[in-house]
């Protein structure tokens, strides 16, 4: 299978019955396409459809010169026109950034609340940038990789904490013993999910982002 689900590009050819998209249009592509009929899809949650298809998984993805867009993806509006001011490289970030924004809305973060992000990889950094832009309060990023931690500091992390046996003590100290209002676990290590439970504030929220 051809991989690649974070896709942007220019339309080279359109089908005879396509009446909006046209040759030369610059687009970004939402990769998951639900069936459109199940209860989940009717709720507008096509990305959670149990009978979905996705570019780079069940359909050929973006690591190719050309990508064929099936009719169902066109009908479901998975192609989004992008402005000339946005590069193709920037447009390819729309997909992962959308995932982070969906997580932000699910958390219902309030301005001024604290946030702890487990994982300073690409997704953790996107979470950090987004939340700082949207008015989050104190942000803490933790990771085992010191280079990634320093990178996250450059993107606005108020505190960086190396993930080791002292992490709980450090986090509780930074929050005056009350814990963190919001925690995002942007890493799939099972132990991290358990550690988050020990650091979240009363009535706080944990989002497992996998």
Q: Using the 3D structure, point to which of 92, 119, 151 is the last residue of a domain.
A: 92
Contact status, residue 186 vs residue 209, Cβ threshold 8 Å: yes
Residue 108 sits in the same domain as residue 27? no
| Same domain, residue pair 82 and 150 | no
- How far is it, in rounded angstroms, from Cα 31 to Cα 78? 7
Residues 139 and 88 in one domain: no
User: What is the C-alpha to C-alpha distance for residues 137 and 84, in angstroms, rounded to an integer?
Assistant: 34
Q: Is 93 helix (H, G, I), strand (E, B) or coil?
A: coil
User: Of 92, 122, 140, which closes a domain?
Assistant: 92
Same-domain status, 107 and 203: yes
- What pLDDT, on the 0 to 100 scale, is given for residue 2? 97
Same domain? For 17 and 38 the reply is: yes
Give the end of a domain, one of 37, 69, 92.
Answer: 92
Q: What is the model's pLDDT at position 82?
A: 97
Q: What is the pLDDT of residue 111?
A: 87
Print the domain residue range for 43.
7-92
Looking at residue 23, its pLDDT comes to: 96
- Contact between residue 64 and residue 8 where contact means Cβ atoms under 8 Å apart: no
Instruction: Report CA torsion sign: 15, 75, 59, 63.
Output: positive
Angle between helices 167-174 and 190-199 (to 10 degrees): 30
Number of domains in the chain: 2
- Integer Rg of the chain from CA: 20
Whole-Å CA distances, 117 to 8, 53, 86, 165: 28, 30, 28, 17
Shared domain check, 78 and 125: no
**Close Cβ partners of 174 (under 8 Å, ≥ 6 residues apart):** 138, 140, 159, 161
Tell me, yes or no, whether 125 lies in a domain: yes
Q: Are residues 81 and 109 in the same domain?
A: no
- 2: in domain: no
CB 163 within 8 A of CB 140: no
Do 153 and 203 lie in a common domain?
A: yes
Residues of the chain with pLDDT under 50: none
């Amino acid at each position: 299978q051809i991989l690649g689900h974070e896709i942007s590009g220019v339309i080279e050819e359109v089908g005879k019955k396509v009446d909006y998209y046209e040759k030369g249009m610059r687009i970004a592509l939402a990769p998951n396409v639900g069936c459109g009929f199940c209860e989940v899809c009717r709720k507008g949650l096509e990305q959670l459809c149990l009978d979905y298809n996705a570019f780079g998984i069940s359909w050929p993805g973006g690591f190719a010169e050309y990508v064929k867009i099936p009719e169902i993806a066109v009908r479901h509006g998975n192609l989004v026109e992008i402005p000339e001011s946005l590069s193709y490289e920037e447009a390819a970030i729309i997909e992962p950034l959308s995932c982070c924004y969906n997580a932000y809305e699910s958390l219902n973060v309030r301005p001024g609340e604290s946030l702890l992000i487990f994982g300073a990889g690409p997704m953790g950094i996107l979470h950090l940038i987004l939340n700082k832009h949207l008015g989050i309060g104190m942000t803490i990023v933790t990771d085992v990789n010191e280079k990634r931690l320093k990178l996250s500091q450059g993107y606005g992390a108020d505190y960086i904490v190396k993930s080791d046996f002292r992490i709980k003590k450090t986090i509780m100290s930074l929050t005056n013993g009350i814990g963190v209002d919001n925690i995002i676990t942007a890493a799939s290590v099972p132990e991290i999910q358990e550690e988050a439970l020990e650091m979240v504030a009363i009535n706080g929220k944990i989002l497992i982002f996998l």
